[in-house]
């Protein structure tokens, strides 16, 4: 029995909900993994904030073109049908609601859809990038995250304690234990690991898990 | 009309103490390294230009370009969205020592503020940052039932950018994702200085392919084999 999903498995689960030909932005780091788990036959078109639509995988080492990078500053390639554009057009795509899905990481998500994912407090160097734009841009804003912090504290909470990235912006959360929708300012449980009881899941969740309809088993392949 | 100049040093003439300078590029992609290093050369020789405010998405990487300018002490303030990089020491050290000011701006808001500056639009409303610390003190407004934050335009004394082709009248094309902020910055600055991989005669760039019309450009200099930040980083090059 699986205790919890790995990051790759969380990314795999999120990828199953991305439709063929959807326009998608993946946050830098862990969310970038979603791209490689698209179901066969589906091909989303990926957007990166620095000005590319329809970029593909990294080139082989030594063949990088450093004018062709993604938002995480990693070298990418162009797929047939790719487009290049400047930053104002790129964020018009974001803010103008033209992307179908944005998938981001999280420090905390609140039951009202508030997201905290850019700052862990006043110490260190603050950096926000495009996160605050993305959460207000896509038609669907999803989060992928471990269900709890490294110290075992809930990341799904009643109210975020860390600085917000956006208010009321998240619509679905894929965690290492469950898939949860945010509807009417509540966490509505959609899927959970088959070996885990609702009580055990509730115990590691910082706000009420509402049951409103069937709860499916969260089943993910070994990756 | 011929906006070309002989070399990077002549191209950056007139960039003076206390100016606000927009610098094109996203990370190393589209970064005008030779023009920035020409400014560093002059600073080393004359002590000027210093006390600069730099506008860029990032705050430099390693010890080249913007990072080298920060490291040698030319920069008083950064306006950027993401002052982290593979090697952010130059900015981090000055910031933690209280020697450099930071105005952190969400990336899309940064782009739109620059666009507005170039377009003569003093302020606009965006949903970005509403309800967050980065909206503190800014006016808000409700439009069609949704809340927005008022953001002001961003203009600069100088824009320093990198293009692929430039004709002598200043019409520009860019290379791949190196375009990023540069077309916006070209319009938002009083003096726009361009390093281009190749300078060609007017008419040699198909008008339908021009990304930045020459009207926005003041000086161009040809830098045929421009250095690339990522390649310099990997080679362990430091300019400060």
Closest approach of A103 to chain B, Cα-based (Å):
17
Cα angle for residues A145, A150, A153 (degrees, 5° grid): 80
A66–B177 C-beta distance less than 8 A: no
Name the active-site residue from A32, A49, A108, A111: A49
pLDDT band at A121 (very low <50, low <70, confident <90, very high): confident
Instruction: Identify which of B92, B109, B126 has the shortest CB distance to residue A125.
Output: B92
In this structure, is residue B161 part of a structural domain? Answer: yes
A86–B108 C-beta distance less than 8 A: no
Q: Average pLDDT for residues B186-201, to the nearest whole number?
A: 98
Q: Average pLDDT for residues A30-36, to the nearest whole number?
A: 94
Contacts of B211 in chain A (CB under 8 A): 86
Asked if B134 reaches chain A (Cβ–Cβ under 8 Å), the answer is yes
pLDDT of residue A137: 83
DSSP, collapsed to helix, strand or coil, labels residue B132 as: coil
pLDDT of residue A24: 98
**Which residues constitute the domain of residue B167?**
8-121+153-234
DSSP, collapsed to helix, strand or coil, labels residue A48 as: strand
In this structure, is residue B107 part of a structural domain? Answer: yes
Query: What CATH number is associated with residue B51?
Result: 3.40.1080.10
A119–B133 C-beta distance less than 8 A: yes
The residue ranges of DSSP E strands in chain B, in sequence order, are 20-23, 52-55, 75-80, 101-104, 123-126, 140-143, 146-152, 156-167, 189-200, 219-222
Cα Rg of chain B (Å, integer)? 18
In this structure, is residue B133 part of a structural domain? Answer: no
- Choose the mutation target among B62, B105, B176, B237 for the interface with A, i.e. most A CBs under 10 Å: B176
pLDDT of residue A39: 96
Asked if B104 reaches chain A (Cβ–Cβ under 8 Å), the answer is yes
What distance in Å separates the CA atoms of residue B32 and residue B40, rounded to the nearest whole number?
13
DSSP conformational letter for B183: H
* Residue A1 predicted with pLDDT over 60: no
B175–A69 C-beta distance less than 8 A: no
Q: Where are the alpha helices (DSSP H) in A83-136?
A: 87-95, 131-134
pLDDT in tens, A50-86: 999 999 999 999 999 999 999 999 999 999 999 999 9
The per-residue pLDDT of chain B, averaged, comes to 97
CATH class assigned to A7-217: alpha beta
Q: CA B133 → CA A79, A165, A202, A218, B137, distances in Å?
A: 38, 9, 31, 36, 9
pLDDT of residue B86: 93
Q: Average pLDDT for residues B74-90, to the nearest whole number?
A: 96
Residue-range domain boundaries for chain A: 7-217
In this structure, is residue B3 part of a structural domain? Answer: no
User: What token pair was written down for B108?
Assistant: 């899309």
The ipTM assigned to this model is 0.96
Closest approach of B16 to chain A, Cα-based (Å):
28
For A19, list phi and psi in degrees, rounded to 5. Answer: -75, 155
| Catalytic-residue membership of A21 | no
B134–A133 C-beta distance less than 8 A: no
End-to-end Cα distance, chain B: 37
pLDDT band at A92 (very low <50, low <70, confident <90, very high): very high
- Closest residue, chain A, to B104 (C-alpha): A127
Asked if B178 reaches chain A (Cβ–Cβ under 8 Å), the answer is yes
* Residue A139 predicted with pLDDT over 50: yes
Contacts of A66 in chain B (CB under 8 A): 28-29, 228-231
Q: Which of residues 138-167 of B touch A (CB under 8 A)?
A: none
Number of domains composing chain B: 1
In this structure, is residue B143 part of a structural domain? Answer: no
- Choose the mutation target among B108, B109, B178, B211 for the interface with A, i.e. most A CBs under 10 Å: B108
- Closest residue, chain B, to A52 (C-alpha): B177
B106–A131 C-beta distance less than 8 A: yes
- Choose the mutation target among B107, B136, B138, B231 for the interface with A, i.e. most A CBs under 10 Å: B107
Q: Average pLDDT for residues B187-198, to the nearest whole number?
A: 98
The per-residue pLDDT of chain A, averaged, comes to 96
B95–A51 C-beta distance less than 8 A: no
pLDDT of residue A122: 84
A126–B181 C-beta distance less than 8 A: no
* Residue A2 predicted with pLDDT over 80: no
What distance in Å separates the CA atoms of residue B214 and residue B50, rounded to the nearest whole number?
29
pLDDT of residue A123: 84
Q: Average pLDDT for residues A10-30, to the nearest whole number?
A: 96
**Contact in structure between A116 and A165 (CB atoms under 8 Å):** yes
Of B74, B114, B121, the residue nearest B239 (C-alpha) = B74
Contacts of A52 in chain B (CB under 8 A): 177
């Amino acid at each position: 029995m699986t205790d919890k999903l790995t990051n790759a498995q969380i990314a795999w689960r999120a990828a199953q909900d991305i439709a063929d030909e959807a326009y998608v932005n993946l946050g830098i780091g862990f969310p970038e993994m979603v791209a490689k788990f698209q179901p066969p036959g589906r091909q989303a078109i990926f957007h990166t904030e620095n000005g590319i639509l329809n970029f593909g995988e990294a080139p082989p080492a030594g063949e990088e073109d450093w004018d062709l990078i993604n938002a995480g500053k990693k070298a990418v390639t162009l797929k047939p049908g790719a487009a290049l554009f400047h930053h104002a057009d790129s964020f018009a795509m974001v803010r103008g609601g033209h992307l179908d899905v944005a998938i981001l990481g999280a420090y905390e998500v609140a039951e009202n859809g508030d997201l905290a994912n850019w700052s862990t407090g006043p110490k260190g160097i603050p950096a926000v990038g495009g996160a605050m734009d993305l959460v207000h841009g896509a038609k669907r804003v999803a989060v992928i995250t471990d269900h709890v912090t490294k110290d075992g504290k809930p990341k799904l909470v009643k109210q975020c304690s860390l600085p917000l990235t956006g208010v009321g912006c998240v619509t679905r959360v894929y965690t290492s234990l469950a898939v949860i929708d945010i509807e009417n300012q509540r966490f509505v449980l959609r899927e959970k690991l088959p070996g885990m009881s609702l009580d055990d899941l509730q115990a590691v969740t910082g706000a009420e898990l509402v049951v409103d309809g069937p709860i499916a088993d969260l089943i993910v392949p070994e990756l | 009309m011929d906006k070309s100049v002989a070399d990077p040093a002549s191209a950056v003439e007139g960039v003076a103490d206390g100016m606000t300078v927009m610098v094109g590029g996203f990370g190393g992609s589209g970064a005008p390294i030779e023009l920035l290093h020409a400014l560093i050369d002059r600073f080393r020789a004359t002590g000027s230009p210093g006390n600069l405010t730099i506008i860029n998405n990032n705050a430099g990487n390693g010890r080249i370009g913007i990072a080298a300018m920060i490291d040698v002490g030319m920069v008083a303030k950064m306006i950027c969205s993401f002052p982290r990089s593979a090697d952010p020491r130059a900015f981090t050290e000055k910031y933690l020592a209280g020697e450099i000011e930071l105005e952190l701006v969400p990336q899309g808001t940064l782009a739109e503020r620059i666009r507005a500056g170039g377009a003569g639009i003093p302020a606009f409303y965006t949903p970005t940052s509403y309800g967050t610390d980065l909206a503190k003190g800014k006016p808000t407004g409700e439009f069609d039932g949704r809340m927005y934050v008022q953001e002001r335009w961003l203009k600069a004394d100088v824009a320093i950018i990198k293009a692929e082709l430039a004709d002598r009248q200043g019409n520009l094309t860019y290379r791949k994702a190196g375009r990023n902020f540069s077309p916006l910055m070209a319009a938002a600055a009083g003096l726009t200085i361009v390093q281009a991989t190749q300078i060609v005669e007017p008419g040699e760039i198909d008008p339908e392919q021009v990304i930045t019309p020459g009207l926005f450009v003041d000086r161009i200099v040809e830098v045929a084999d421009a250095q690339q930040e990522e390649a310099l980083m990997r080679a362990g090059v430091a300019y400060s």
